[in-house]
Amino acid sequence: MQRMHAVLSRFSQSQAKQKRERMMNHVLINSVNTNGNGTSGYTVKEGPNKGKVLKHITVKHPNKI
């Protein structure tokens, strides 16, 4: 019985640690401003690709030739 107690306590400790890590990641990560400034994607703000729009959503219209 004591062996199972040790296994269960290690499991519960690891689950609690994972839960704390998920909560911290949720708090620390800022959301991306998609669709901000009239674009349908994310505009890169720093680095060599500054100003580019990533994942720009375009729709091919059937009435355009």
Q: What is the pLDDT of residue 41?
A: 72
pTM above 0.85, yes or no: no
Task: Give the helix, strand, coil percentages of the chain, each rounded to 5.
Answer: 45, 5, 50
pLDDT in tens, 29-44: 666 665 666 656 777 8
